[in-house]
Amino acid sequence: LAPSTSQVPSTVPTANPTFAPTTTLSLPPSMSQVPSTVPTHDPTSAPTLPCDMTPEDRAAAVSEAVADMVLIPRTLEYAASAQSLARKWLAEDDKLYPPLCPGQDGTRLQQRFGLALLHFAVGGESEIEGRGWAYRPSEDEFLSPINECDWAGVDCNSDTRKVTRIELPGRKMRGTLPAELFTVFEDLKVLNLQNNRVRGCIPDEIGTASSLEFLYLSANELACVLPSTLPKELEEIDLLDNGIGGPIPGGMLMGLEKLQMLSLGKNDLTGTVPTEIENLQALRTLHLDENKLISSLPMELYKLTNLVSLRLSENSFDSTLSSSIEKLSKLKELY
């Protein structure tokens, strides 16, 4: 008899067989297999020095660079000269960090030296003879360990970071203007030191300040004579109320095609008004009052047809105004 179905062994596997998982034992890695998290360090490597120089070498390099900026080298032979004080400060005492590097930061070194020189030349140091500039509470003083563009009264071009304006009126300055003030600032457009006690001469080097447009030095104690040449870009000159003597140099008036204001009143100017005055065709304001000028006014004066304000009083002119004054149709102030 054939076996019953229940007696026949099944050879068909189940649809979902199960398997026991295989367990793999992991052994702890040896110490040589553990990755190191401690950075390697070369005990022989030296720390990086600013400018790749020792402080002593950098100071010597800065001193050498400054020496090339000084116009009269012998001034550096005197430890108390403004040039020597500015060089020492820049080379040894300036706390700016990172420091400026000779060869890399030439323009910055030059203008930082120029501003430090102005500081020492006109009494920025309060320890010297009880002097010291007047600062407002919110201002950063000269020689602060920050960018010189952020010092009080200093403005720089936002792109080039070169000094374009120095405006320090009424700061209790006392001293003389250094010649380098007009040679180290390549882009200086405005110099305003009005209402201080700056004395001495206006350096002849002002003629090399090719970017200067506005010069305001009124109400100081300037003496000597006027410079023989002036920058050709000048638009306004205010030297009112000083002690400047001598004649008005005709050569000083040459090439000033953009000049709109020439204020020389309340000085000690002598001689005559030069005929070269006719070169100032853009002039709107001419103030020559309260001087010691003599003789007759030149006819060239009446060719300045853009004049709006003309002051000639309290001089020793030997004639009255010519009827040619009628040519000055824009004139609104005359005395």
Whether residue 144 is predicted with pLDDT greater than 90 in this model: the reply is yes
Whether residue 42 is predicted with pLDDT greater than 90 in this model: the reply is no
pLDDT in tens, 244-288: 999 999 999 999 999 999 999 999 999 999 999 999 999 999 999
> Quick check: 206 and 252 in contact, CB under 8 A?
no
Q: What is the pTM of this model?
A: 0.85
> Quick check: 189 and 165 in contact, CB under 8 A?
yes
> Euclidean distance between the first and final Cα of the chain, in Å?
153
DSSP H helices, 37-93, are: 55-69, 82-88
> pLDDT grade, residue 6 (50/70/90)?
very low
Long-range Cβ contacts of 98-103 (<8 Å, 24+ apart)? 98/50, 99/50, 99/51, 99/58, 100/62, 101/50, 101/51, 101/53, 101/58, 102/51, 102/58, 102/61, 102/62, 102/64, 102/65, 103/61
> pLDDT grade, residue 230 (50/70/90)?
very high
Whether residue 188 is predicted with pLDDT greater than 50 in this model: the reply is yes
287-303 b/e (C-beta count within 10 Å ≥ 16 → b):
bbbbbebeeebbeebbb
> Quick check: 265 and 311 in contact, CB under 8 A?
yes
Poorest-pLDDT segment among 17-21, 206-210, 238-242, 319-323: 17-21
* CA angle, residues 151, 164, 170, in degrees to nearest 5: 55
Average pLDDT over residues 43-58: 81
- Report the relative pairing of strands 268-271 and 309-311 from DSSP bridges: unpaired
pLDDT computed for residue 299 by the predictor: 95
Single-letter code of the amino acid located at 112: R
Poorest-pLDDT segment among 93-107, 117-131, 138-152, 166-180: 117-131
Structure tokens at 298: 């030149």
SS3 288: coil
d(CA 91, CA 196): 29
Please name the residue that has the structure tokens 């309290």: 314
pLDDT in tens, 290-335: 999 999 999 999 999 999 999 999 999 987 888 999 999 999 999 9
Single-letter code of the amino acid located at 324: S
